[in-house]
Amino acid sequence: MVRAFTLLLAAPAFAAPMPELQAQLDRMAAAFPGRLGVGVLDLDSGATAAVRGQEPAPMASVFKLPTAVAVLRRAQEQGLPLSTLVHAGFDERAPDWSPLAPRIPPEGLDVSLDELLDLMVADSDNTAADVLLRWLGSPVEVTRTLGRLGLNGIRVDRSERSMAYALGGATEPPVPEPLDALLARIQAVPASRKALALRSYSRDPRDQASPEALVRLLSELDAGRLLDAAHTRRLMEILRGARTGKRRLAAGLPASVTLAHKTGTLPSRGGFSAGINDVGIVDGDGRRLAIAVLVTDAHAPGERCEDLIADVARAVWSASPRPADAGAR
């Protein structure tokens, strides 16, 4: 269940494990009343660590990062400028968090690909995500694109609207319904069924990824192997400007470092948190690290899950060797 440090095949010969960090991660996982998944990769030395690294877990809004890769890949391959307009329909407004939704009039709104990407990734906007998934053709097109790029272990299967029905314990109708009807349908679900839906959500293999798969995505993005230079640069800019998750990875890292990251949050009800996540690339003090932390099925409030993510980031940063330290080994 808990994987020790390994070395990537492509890692330099001087890469070495950090047993102190592994011991800390093991203790955190054992003490926490839930499932902690962690993937860590030193982007320069190739040293890695993992706790439940190959176990898939719900991504929540972390799925918006691979979705952004798929959108940018299509724009790149088809020669579409990011100023290209996409029509967001009034009935595409998604539930829960969406700064875009109140801006859409009954006749709809034309929004550029670039703005939709920024809203989806930096703000974790649900409506922007669903509009882009529809523009791609379907959510599974993200999974297909990742597979074509050699990335496995990441599944994107449903829209934000579909996931809202599942998390709320409601049956999704065969024909899309207006937002008000969707919310009313979920509101009518008995509290006991909602609680059961939340606690059983992680058993559905859809929309899941393993920490190691997410770290590999971050590594491939950083290396420029998923997108060309211009599109890679734009996505990294958006990730660095993320406006969510200040209490998670960022809280455990020095203020002087740069964090390019994407969060994911499933509901917390009655002291149970279905999923609290954060994945990103840390750059500073001569170190570059990819980190993925997925907290699932926690018998703890969301704030405690966020603090755990910050503790993981703090431990990783403290244990990772600076270049001079690595060269001295």
Domain extents for the chain?
A: 6-59+210-327, 64-201
Alpha helices, DSSP H, located in the chain: 19-31, 64-78, 113-122, 126-136, 140-148, 160-168, 179-187, 191-200, 211-222, 229-240, 302-319, 323-327
Question: Positive or negative CA dihedral for 89, 92, 95, 96?
Answer: negative
Tokens, residue 23: 């011991």
The rounded distance, in Å, linking the Cα atoms of 58 and 135 is: 23
Q: What is the pLDDT of residue 5?
A: 36
Q: Is the pLDDT of residue 2 over 90?
A: no
Q: Is the pLDDT of residue 212 over 50?
A: yes
Tens-place pLDDT, residues 149-194: 999 999 999 999 999 999 999 999 999 999 999 999 999 999 999 9
Tens-place pLDDT, residues 118-127: 999 999 999 9
The region that residue 136 occupies, defined by phi over 0 for left and psi between -120 and 50 for alpha, beta otherwise, is: alpha
The rounded distance, in Å, linking the Cα atoms of 172 and 52 is: 32
Question: Positive or negative CA dihedral for 8, 10, 16, 21?
Answer: negative
Q: What is the pLDDT of residue 329?
A: 41
| CATH homologous superfamily of 6-59+210-327 | DD-peptidase/beta-lactamase superfamily (3.40.710.10)
Check for a shared fold between 6-59+210-327 and 64-201. yes
Q: What is the pLDDT of residue 18?
A: 66
Helix axes 64-78, 211-222, angle to 10 degrees: 40
Tens-place pLDDT, residues 68-93: 999 999 999 999 999 999 999 999 99
Query: In the chain, what percentage of residues exceed pLDDT 90?
Result: 88
Average pLDDT, the chain: 92
CB neighbours of residue 11 within 10 Å: 17
Cβ atoms of 314 and 253 within 8 Å: the answer is yes
Q: What pTM does this model have?
A: 0.93
Tens-place pLDDT, residues 276-299: 999 999 999 999 999 999 999 999
Between CA 295 and CA 124, with CA 246 as vertex, the angle to 5 degrees is 75
Tokens, residue 163: 């996931």
Cβ atoms of 170 and 187 within 8 Å: the answer is no
From the list 39, 65, 66, 48, the residue with the least C-alpha distance to 10 is 48
CB neighbours of residue 127 within 10 Å: 30
| CATH homologous superfamily of 64-201 | DD-peptidase/beta-lactamase superfamily (3.40.710.10)
The mean per-residue pLDDT over the stretch 210-239 comes to 98
Cβ atoms of 163 and 126 within 8 Å: the answer is no
Q: What is the pLDDT of residue 17?
A: 58
From the list 317, 322, 324, 320, the residue with the least C-alpha distance to 254 is 317
CB neighbours of residue 270 within 10 Å: 12
The rounded distance, in Å, linking the Cα atoms of 137 and 133 is: 6
Tokens, residue 89: 């329909």
